[in-house]
Chain A
Amino acid sequence: AQSVTQPDIHITVSEGASLELRCNYSYGATPYLFWYVQSPGQGLQLLLKYFSGDTLVQGIKGFEAEFKRSQSSFNLRKPSVHWSDAAEYFCAVGPPGSNTGKLIFGQGTTLQVKP
């Protein structure tokens, strides 16, 4: 079955420290990959996406993610975290080459930033 796993439910980092949020997927083929961020009481904001090509993708707010086919992973990174990055982060996958936009989401990782 298709699934997305975010192993870390909750992560705490100090402001200025680097961040890596993990995402692993189970899919028949390489899916389309996304990272979204959700602040309390808000909808989801797209941080970045991977469809094909360069496996290191740049997103908004200084985030980047690396697709590793051999590990079925799409980890999100940021070199220096800001207090405003505290939020919930969701990894999602979508079926490649099909006519549906249905996304499968991971359970999310809550990021807390210590001053």
Chain B
Amino acid sequence: KAGVTQTPRYLIKTRGQQVTLSCSPISGHRSVSWYQQTPGQGLQFLFEYFSETQRNKGNFPGRFSGRQFSNSRSEMNVSTLELGDSALYLCASSFEVPNEQYFGPGTRLTVT
């Protein structure tokens, strides 16, 4: 069974631009969560989707948003990028909630 896939793997954007990251969960998994990983703050929860509904949201500004489609694929969007948004964005999926989560390889976002 294929693992969690994330696209693109690497991205360079300019401050003020917006970006969309994509996540395809493991087949059959209905829950998708997003995390931001930085050297200073570590791994921080962004949001979680289950059956197209946002179940939980972390403590991030409204510039961070996401959605989930009927096939469980998920996207997250960051508008008006700031330098501090440079991070590894990780997506994780699980069959149901709560359960162990399986992580994708991440998207490395660099904001210049």
> Which residues of chain A have a CB within 8 Å of any CB of chain B?
32, 34, 36, 42-46, 49, 90, 92, 94-96, 98-108
Contacts and interface: CB of A to CB of B under 8 A. Distances in A.
Interface of B: 4, 31, 33, 35, 42-45, 48, 50, 55-56, 58, 90, 92, 94, 97-106
Contact of A101 (B90, B97, B103, B105): B97
Contacts of A99: 50, 55, 97-98
Contacts, number: 67
Contacts of B103: 36, 43-46
Contacts of B35: 103, 105
19 contacts: A32-B98, A43-B90, A43-B103, A44-B90, A45-B103, A46-B102, A46-B103, A92-B43, A95-B98, A98-B98, A99-B97, A99-B98, A101-B50, A101-B97, A101-B98, A101-B99, A102-B45, A103-B35, A107-B42
